Chains A and B, each alone.
Chain A
Amino acid sequence: MICARKLSKRFGDKRVLERLDLEVPRGGFVLVTGPNGSGKTTLLRLCAGLFAPTGGELEVDVPRGAIGFLAHEPLVYRELTALENLDLYGRLYRLPERRERAGAMLERFGLWRVRNERAGTFSRGMLQRLALCRTFLHDPDLLLLDEPFDGLDVEGADLLQMELAQRTGVTALVATHDPEALAGRVSARLALA
C-alpha cells in the first residue's frame, strides 16, 4: 500500500530522511522507531501527502479521503465543541449519518459526557482522545499515527488498543517511542537513525 524507494527529504540544507526504502503491504502494521529528530514525523507527513519528497519515489496507493492521520497537533478547533469538530470533519469527509458516527466515536473514547464542551478547555489527554476520534471517524484504510499514546492515561491507552484490535484489515504506519505497547499487532519495524 505504501512503497518508498530511495526516499529523501531535506529542509533547506538539513537532511531529515536520506535514501529510505520502505514497503508496507496491504494489511501491514509497521512501527517506526527512532530518536527525536530521526524523521519519523517527516516520514508520516510524506506518506500523508503533506510534504513533497526532495528525492526518490513514494507511492501511496490509497485516495486522500481514506487516510486517517494523527499528528502531533490534535487538528481540532479550540473554539468548537468536541461534537462540532467531528461534525465539521464528518461533513468534509461526506459521511452518511455523520451525527450518529460522531456520537459513537465520542462514546467509544469516553468523551460523550463532554461532547458539548469546547476543545480549548480539554486536557492534553482528552485532546488526544478527540484527535483519535477524528482519525478513526471515516473508517480509514490507511492509518498514519504519530505517537498515538502521547498524553493518554492507562484507560485511554486501553481504549486505543481496543479500537486498533477491532480494525483488523487496516494498514498502519505508526511512529512511537513505546514499541512494546503495540507488540501484538506489529508485522514489521523500521528503525530510523
Chain B
Amino acid sequence: MLAFYWAPEDADQGFSQKIFYIHVPIALTAYAGFGWGAWKALRLLWTGERRYDLESYTAVHIGVIFGLLTLVTGSIWAKISWGHWWTWGERQLVLFLILFLFYSSYFMLRYSTEPGPRRQRNSAVYALFGVVLIPVSFLAVRIAGTILHPTIFTHEGADLPWQMLVCFLVSLGGMLALAGTLYQVELAGKRADGSLRELRELLA
C-alpha cells in the first residue's frame, strides 16, 4: 500500500508504473517458492525422509499461486503499458508462462501416481528439473526475445530513487512474509490431514 501513495511516479510510465512494486516482488516470491521446493526435494532424495515430500509439494504449491499472480499482474501491466493483455516481448511473462506450464505438469504427475516412495522420488526429481529450467528458460527467452522490459537494475542502478528502492524492498519483504505464512498454514493443514488419516486407520 505504501508503494501507491509514497513512491515517486516514473516519468515515462506515470502512475501505472506502480504495479512494479507488486508485480516484481510477487515474481521473486514465486521463484523463492520454486527454489525452496527444489531444496526440499533435494533433501528428500538425499535423506529419504518422508516429511520433505510434503514440504517440497507445499512450497511448489505456493510458488505456483504466486506464479499465477505474476501472470495476472504482469498482464495488467502489459495492458496499461502497451495496450495489450499479452505481449510475447515481455520476457518475464513468457518465462512465467513456461514455468506455469511446467509446474502444472508437476501437479498432474502427483495426481496420477499412487502415493508412496515412488511418487515422492519422482516428484522430487521433477521439482529439481524445474529449478534448473528457470535459468535455462530465462536464458532462452533472453536470447530469443526482443527487449521491451525496463531493465532497471542491470544498466544503471542509480536511476532508482531511494524511495522507490525502499518501497520495493518493503513490498518484497511483505510478499515473502505472506508466502512464508501461507506455507506454514498449508503445511500444518496437510500434516493434520495425514495424521488424521493415520489415526482413522488405527481405529479401523
Query: Judging by beta carbons under 8 Å apart, are A12 and B115 in contact?
Result: yes
Question: Interface readout for A1-22 with B: 1 if CB under 8 Å, 0 if not?
Answer: 0000000001111010000000
Q: Hey, which chain B residues are within 8 Å of A52, CB to CB? A: 48, 117
- Asked whether B51 is an interface residue with its Cβ less than 8 Å from the other chain, the reply is no
| Distance between Cα atoms of A127 and B33 in the complex (Å) | 51
Query: Judging by beta carbons under 8 Å apart, are A13 and B197 in contact?
Result: yes
Question: Interface readout for B104-131 with A: 1 if CB under 8 Å, 0 if not?
Answer: 0000000000111100000000000000
| Distance between Cα atoms of A11 and B197 in the complex (Å) | 14
| Distance between Cα atoms of A35 and B143 in the complex (Å) | 63
Question: Interface readout for B150-181 with A: 1 if CB under 8 Å, 0 if not?
Answer: 00000000000000000000000000000000
A73 to chain B, nearest CB (A): 18
- Asked whether B201 is an interface residue with its Cβ less than 8 Å from the other chain, the reply is yes
Identify B114's interface contact among A11, A15, A51, CB under 8 A: A11
| Distance between Cα atoms of A52 and B48 in the complex (Å) | 10
| Distance between Cα atoms of A52 and B119 in the complex (Å) | 12
| Distance between Cα atoms of A119 and B114 in the complex (Å) | 31
Q: Hey, which chain A residues are within 8 Å of B116, CB to CB? A: 10-12
| Distance between Cα atoms of A51 and B117 in the complex (Å) | 8
Closest B residue to A53 by beta carbon equals B117
Q: Is the interface of B mostly helix, strand, loop or mixed?
A: loop
Q: Hey, which chain B residues are within 8 Å of A11, CB to CB? A: 114, 116
Q: Hey, which chain B residues are within 8 Å of A15, CB to CB? A: 201
A191 to chain B, nearest CB (A): 24
A174 to chain B, nearest CB (A): 26
Interface-centre pick from A10, A12, A52 (highest chain B CB count, 10 A):
A52
| Distance between Cα atoms of A52 and B44 in the complex (Å) | 14
| Distance between Cα atoms of A11 and B115 in the complex (Å) | 7
Q: Hey, which chain A residues are within 8 Å of B201, CB to CB? A: 13, 15
| Distance between Cα atoms of A10 and B115 in the complex (Å) | 10
Q: Hey, which chain B residues are within 8 Å of A51, CB to CB? A: 117
Q: Hey, which chain B residues are within 8 Å of A12, CB to CB? A: 114-116
B104 to chain A, nearest CB (A): 23
Q: B residues 22-53 with Cβ under 8 Å of A?
A: 48
Known: A11-B116, A13-B201, A51-B117. 9 other contacts (CB 8 A): A10-B116, A11-B114, A12-B114, A12-B115, A12-B116, A13-B197, A15-B201, A52-B48, A52-B117
Return 9 A-B CB contacts under 8 Å, by A number. Answer: A10-B116, A11-B114, A11-B116, A12-B114, A12-B115, A12-B116, A13-B197, A13-B201, A15-B201
